[in-house]
Each structure stands twice: as C-alpha cells, then as structure tokens.
Amino acid sequence: MNETSSIHSAKLVSLARSLSGLGLDASNGGTVNPPDNADSPPPQSGIDLGPGLYFADGKRKVDYVLCYKFRKRRASKPRLSIASNGSIPFPIPGRWDVEPGEAGPPAGDVEEPKLSEEEKALMREEFEAGLLEAGLQIERDKERLNSLRFLRLHIPWPTLSREAELQKIKVAVKKKCELRKPMGIAGMWDYFVTKISTPFQPDVSDFDVQKDPQTNLQFKTLKHPFIRDKLHLYDIKSTETLFDNATRSRIVAEIISRISCRQSCQTTGINTLVAQGVYEAAFALHDGSFTRRGRKDQRNDRQLLHEEWANYGVMYKYQPVDLIRKYFGEQIGLYFAWLGVYTQLLIPPSVLGIIVFLYGIFTVDTNVPSKETCDANLNITMCPLCDGVCDYWLLSTVCSLARASYLFDNGVTVLFAIFMSLWAACFLEHWKRRIMCLRHTWDLMSLEDEEERLQEELRPEYEEALKEKKAKMRAKFKKKSTQAVSGVDGETDQMLSSQREPESLDIEDHLSGYLINVSTLLLMSFVTFSAVFGVAVYRICMLTVWSMNPDHDAKASVRMTVTTTGIILNMMVVLVLEEVYGAIAVWLTELELPQTKEEFEEKLIFKSFFLKSMNAFAPIFYVAFFKGRFAGRPGDYVYVFGDYRMEECAPPGCLIELCIQLSMIMLGKQLIQNNVFEVLIPKLKKMYRTIQEEKGKKRNAEEDDEEEKRPKQQFDKDFILEPYEGVTPEYMEMMIQYGFVTLFVASLPLAPAFALLNNVIEIRLDAAKFVTEIRRPDAVRCKDIGVWFNILCGISKFSVITNAFVHLLHV
C-alpha cells in the first residue's frame, strides 16, 4: 500500500465514526427490513401485477432497484444500518482528516485498484444516506451472507412533484380539445382509409384520446409542464398514477445519477459505483409478468406489448409506437419508429425488384448474348483457365451461368438502379417529416436544454482517470515540497493548499489513446484487405489444383465450385471479424477517455461503423471493381507468387459473381446474426445466470438451515435478464443492411425484398428481446436518431456513385 491508500483507509474509518455518531440505525425510524416471505398484494387497480412491485405495505411503488453482493465484514470495522423513512438528514462534513497517530506507508508503492468489502460497504452507506437526503425511501432485504441483496427505492409525492417541476415534465390538464371529423371529400377519404387500415391496427387504446360514451365525441388530452402551485389545473385522479412507471423510474435514475460520495471515494452517480463493483446492478422493474393470467381488460403495459407487438402472430399489424415510447422511453421508441418507416418504404422497391427479376425470366430466351453463349453449334472455343494442365473449353459449357446472369442484369436493371437512388432520397425526406410529427406528438420540441444538461454528466471512467491524475500530482508535489522544506509542516500544508488541481484531462492524457486508435484502425484496415486478398489467393490456388483432377465432371464444374466455396469462406470471415471489430471498437473508444456518455457513443459509433462496414463491403467492392481488371490477356497473363495466374471473371462477367457474393453475405449475415447473436446467446446467458442464482440459494440454505424461503419477486426475475446495452447494435445492423440495399442494388434487384422479409421478422424479434429477454431500460429522452441520420445520408449519396460505376465497368 502507498500513502494514498493509507489516507483512503483513514477516511473510511473517519466516515464510519461520523455515520455512527449520527445514530443511523433501523430503530431510529420505521424499520426497512420486510419479512422474507412478504408477498404484499398491490393496490386494487384492476391491472395484473406480480409480487415485488410494491413495498411491504402494499402502497408504495418500487420505482428503482439496486442490488449488491453481501459479504461478511470484519468485526473491527464499524457497522451501521440506514433507515428508509426518508426523514433523516445526512450532514456531510467539509473535508477528510486523517486520524492522529495513523502513519501511512512511504509514497511510491503501487496502489491497489480493487476496493475491499469494507470500503464498498462504507461507500454504499454514504450513498444510501445521500438517497435519503434527496428524498427517496429505501426498503432492503434481510442480510444473508454471500448472497445478492436488493434495495428497493420509492420516490414519494413531495420529491416526485419537485423533480417533475424541475424537469418540466408535461402533465394532462383538465381542459380537453374536441377532435372534429373532417367533412365532405376529406371525410369520405378519411373514413375509407380508416376502414382499410383497421385490421392492421394493434389492439391498443390511444391514451391521449378519450371518447365520451354519451355523445360519442372524441377529445384530445392537452398537456402542460407540471407546476406544484397549480395542481387544480391538472387532471389528477391519483398522485400514484399521475406519472407512469417509466417517468417515475426516469426521475429516480436522474436523482441517483447526481448523488455524490465525496467522503469515501470522491465520485458522483450510481454508474460510477456500478463500474467500481460497489453495486452489482441498478435497474427499473418491468410492470409484472409479460404473460397474461386475467381478463383482457386487465393487461398491464408489458402484457400489451407482448401480445400486440412482441408476437409473430401480429406481424401484419402496425407497431404501437406510442405505447413503446411510453414504456421504454423516446430513444427506443424512435428506433422502432424509424425501423417501421424503413420497412414500410421497402415495399415499393421490393415489388419493383421482383418485377425486374420476372422480366429477366420472361425475356431470357430472347436475349442475344445468352442465345449465342448457349448455342453449341457455334463451337466458340475459349483459352485454358490455367497453364500446363488445363485444356481449351467451349463457351457453351457456361450456358446456365450466362442465363442466370441475365436474370439480374437486363435492360430494366439500369432503370431500377436510378429508381433506388431516388428512393433513398425520398426515404430520407419521409423520415424527416415523420420525425417532426413524432417530436410534436411526444413533446420533444424543447428538449435541447435537457440534452445539454445530460451532455455535462461525466463518465465513470473519465472521473476515475481524473481522480488518479489528481492523486499523482498531489503525491508528486508533496514529495517535492517535503524535500524543499523538510520538517516544516506548516509551510508544506500551505504549499499543498495552494496547489491547484486540474478540472479536466488535457491533450497529453488523451494523446496515447489517439495514437493507439490511429495505428489500430490502420492495422484493422490492413487485416480486412488481407482477408479479402487471402480468399482471392485461395480461389487462385484451388482453381489450379482442382483443374488437375482427372475426373472430367469435376473439371467441368471447377469454376462454380471454387466460386461457391470462396463466397462461403468470405461470409465466415466477415462474421468472425465483425464480432472482433465490435470488441476492438469498444476498447479503442475507452482508451480515448471520452468525457461524457454522448461523446463516448458518438466515437464508438464512428469506429464501429468504419470497421464493420469496411469488413462487410470489402469483399463486394473487390468483386465489383477489381476482380478481373489485372488478369492480363492470353499470352500476357499476370502472375502472383510466380506461378499462379490472377483470377478472371466468369465469361458472362463478374456481375453474376457479385450477385452471388452479395446474396450469400447479406442473407447469411442476417440469418446467423438474428438466430445466434440475438436469440440464442441472450437465452444462454439468462440460463447461466439462473443456474448461478439457484446455486447461490442452495449454498445459503446449507449455511443457514433456519432461513425461510422467500417467494420469487419481480426484482429477482428481472435481475437474471440480460442487461440493456443500448440500441447501437440494432442501428448498426440496419445501417449495414441499408448499405447492401442501396450500394449494390444494380447487381441484385432482389436485395430490397430480402431486406423487407428480414425486417418484418427483425421487428418482432427485437420486440420479444426488449419485452422478455432484457432488463427494463431507463427511459432516455432524445429528439432524433442522432448521428445515424448522417450515416444514412452518406450511404445514400455514395450509392449513386457505386451503382453508376458498377454498370459502367460491367457493360
């Protein structure tokens, strides 16, 4: 241990004595430890809610959950317990003082980065005292050694109303606006559209529109920012139901993100404590089970989403976007709204692509190049495919390949490529219109102030690096000052107090991360191009080796065999490297030490998209623009490694190989990712956590035979779910697919149809994952899809260039 760790231990002792002196014990206020077998019924609301969503009194909602591993602490350390009545103030002393008589070890030793159990416990106690001071209420489990312990947080009405007013959350007022039906031709058209679209609408009521059963008139709810002094203006039926669960958990998440632990660890927010291992997890609870047991009118929001959205039986229906936004927040709601718009607008190019393909089928017999290729009477003899062992061959042997090439490369394919360029521009403009409607409907027009406030929140890793820098500067300056004024404590303290600590990291602290980022990105680019070149070398070598096969039938199909195996090998390389590049992008972004979470996400998105798009499109770019360009001509071939001829395009051209390559990578990537990475792996992780939890319960039962078994609560079920990791992977997958659809659609007119089929399944797959497989995310507010729109614009503009060059080079 060094001097810093010694002072840190002394601070912990001082904190424990300070907390003990406050008398924070469960006996001081209402007790917070419910009995283990408490299964309190929720209030009679008519909604199907499971156990664990309320405190033991059955009245106070559980708005947030913190959990940690409880381990036995040494008896020499002070022990304390904090009550949860929310009325005990927690005065925080101004500064730490090292206890007299405690001498620290000499400076210069390596500091131990991991926290001990005693340090974690004291940090939790200070943090929970801060929660009480902020106005939250806590209910905790009975302590069991070596087991998970859950802290349930409830925000009472005074704190809730105060935070709602500060955050300017809009609430429904008593005055409502009557929705009048259009008359005349507009009314007839609206009635016709409503009748047509009714079977495709989800069975979810519009909670912003109310219908008067007597007059049969519809009224739209008007909302206004909440003000505590004007409660008589709002439509408040109950203070418990005025704000939905997502809003309540978002307010609690905002509170716990700004609670400071200045005495024990000099950190702020629950994210830092989770990163340091003080808490295992922090999450909001789902609204009970996703399976319905009661009547249809008693479904909670999670059950509504499961039945009307996360269900393959309702694939033909629209998404309940408003309910998704209400339950998960604006960030996830905007993702599924964008995915719905993208999928819906894929219908016209899918239909047109199928028509182009059918046109090729119906006119292939009239195509002159195909007829000449397939006419054996012409006896068109071609040069050998390899030197030495290969013989001359007839062009008619590739008749099927020539006919297949015409199916995707015919006269109307050029028109289809032009249409897709226009479609991409229309898609972007339509999304702009849609996002403006959503921003108006979801009250996101004045969200800039809140986003600026969130941008100022520091990341835990950045805080930790800044804290380490301050500690090093403090130790270095103290060592110099001790050498300069040896033995004069007063002057040393004065010099230490005058030392100004840095408020942020400078360019020197980021320089090493930047250099590693640049060099690693260049290295990964080299790896990607090397993989493409390696597969090309594989095809060259295998073409030569298999051409020596004495079997005549094997030699006849050698080109198709080599092409197919090369494409499969390319697809496997793309899938493997994509997972590797995803982990590398996270590692590189963490090395840069971004200051805020938003800055971290933007840097991560840039690196991930650069690496993954280069990995996915490099093999296709090679076939489209480079393959066959450097093969030479008979008598003057280009050789690699001395004896191997550069590979050439098939006689019908490289476009058919580009079509096969694109379809294999696109379909294989989507199918494997959907079935393995998005379904199988989360289920395996959930199964593993369930097994580990059962083992922990058995171990605890063996240690304490008299322990009563507690019924499984909602927080127990939610803890074993997969942690929420953001919508960046979902967006990334769709951006790569959008690139496949637009960049090389001239070679595969069926690409929009493949994408449409995939997205129809993808929406329900992602819905089931969000509803049943992952913990409930915090309701994050945002006004648009962010940097992803810029990526869409870049891909759309680049697609015009690639499609034009594909046709120019393969005419």
Q: What is the pLDDT of residues 170-217, one digit of tens each?
A: 888 888 887 777 777 887 888 888 888 888 888 888 777 777 667 777
| Sign for the pseudo-dihedral over CA of 591, 594, 595, 596 | negative
∠ CA 202-203-207, nearest 5°, is: 100
Q: Which has the minimum average pLDDT: 33-37, 604-608, 728-732?
A: 33-37
Q: Report the SS3 class of residue 667.
A: helix
* pLDDT score of 502: 67
What element of type H or E holds 17?
Answer: helix 3-22
Q: Report the SS3 class of residue 159.
A: helix
741-750 pLDDT tens trace: 888 887 888 8
Residues 468 and 556: their CA atoms lie apart, in Å, by 68
Average pLDDT over residues 629-652: 72
Between 711 and 733, the higher pLDDT residue: 733
Per-residue confidence at 348, pLDDT binned at 50, 70, 90?
very high
Report whether pLDDT(346) > 90.
Answer: yes
Average pLDDT over residues 529-539: 86
Per-residue confidence at 64, pLDDT binned at 50, 70, 90?
very high
Between 479 and 289, the higher pLDDT residue: 289
Between 604 and 143, the higher pLDDT residue: 604
Tokens 């040393």 identify what position? 492
Q: Report the SS3 class of residue 660.
A: helix
Report whether pLDDT(569) > 90.
Answer: no
Q: Which has the minimum average pLDDT: 94-98, 456-460, 592-596?
A: 94-98
* pLDDT score of 157: 92
Q: Residues of the chain with pLDDT > 70: what percent?
A: 76
Tokens 């800055």 identify what position? 599
Between 137 and 493, the higher pLDDT residue: 137
Report whether pLDDT(387) > 90.
Answer: no
- CB-side exposure of 401: number of CA atoms within 13 Å? 23
* pLDDT score of 794: 92
Contact by Cβ (8 Å): 799, 743: yes
* pLDDT score of 454: 52
* pLDDT score of 482: 72
* pLDDT score of 377: 80
Per-residue confidence at 265, pLDDT binned at 50, 70, 90?
low
Residues 281 and 150: their CA atoms lie apart, in Å, by 10
Between 717 and 644, the higher pLDDT residue: 717
Report whether pLDDT(225) > 60.
Answer: yes
* pLDDT score of 29: 33
User: Could you give the C-alpha distances from 351 to 424, 426, 551, in angstroms and in order?
Assistant: 16, 17, 44
Q: Which has the minimum average pLDDT: 212-216, 360-364, 718-722, 797-801?
A: 212-216
Residues, the chain: 811
* pLDDT score of 557: 67
Q: Classify each residue of 503-524 as buried b or exposed e, where b means 16 or more C-beta atoms within 10 Å of its C-beta.
A: eeeeeebbeebeeebeebbeeb
Pinpoint the alpha helices (H) of 597-719.
597-621, 655-672, 681-703, 714-719
**176 phi, psi to nearest 5 deg:** -125, 160
DSSP letter string over 477-543? HHHHHHHHTTT-HHHHHHHHHHPPPPSS--HHHHHHHHHHHHHHHHHHHHHHHHHHHHHHHHHHHHH
388-443 pLDDT tens trace: 667 777 777 777 778 888 888 787 888 888 898 899 999 999 999 999 999 888 88
Per-residue confidence at 91, pLDDT binned at 50, 70, 90?
very low
DSSP letter string over 152-194? EEE--HHHHHHHHHHTT-EEEEEEEEEEPPP-HHHHHHHHHHH
Residues 466 and 750: their CA atoms lie apart, in Å, by 53
The pLDDT mean for the chain works out to 77
Q: Which has the minimum average pLDDT: 39-43, 273-277, 765-769?
A: 39-43
* pLDDT score of 720: 85
Q: Which has the minimum average pLDDT: 351-365, 643-657, 782-796?
A: 643-657
Q: Report the SS3 class of residue 631.
A: coil
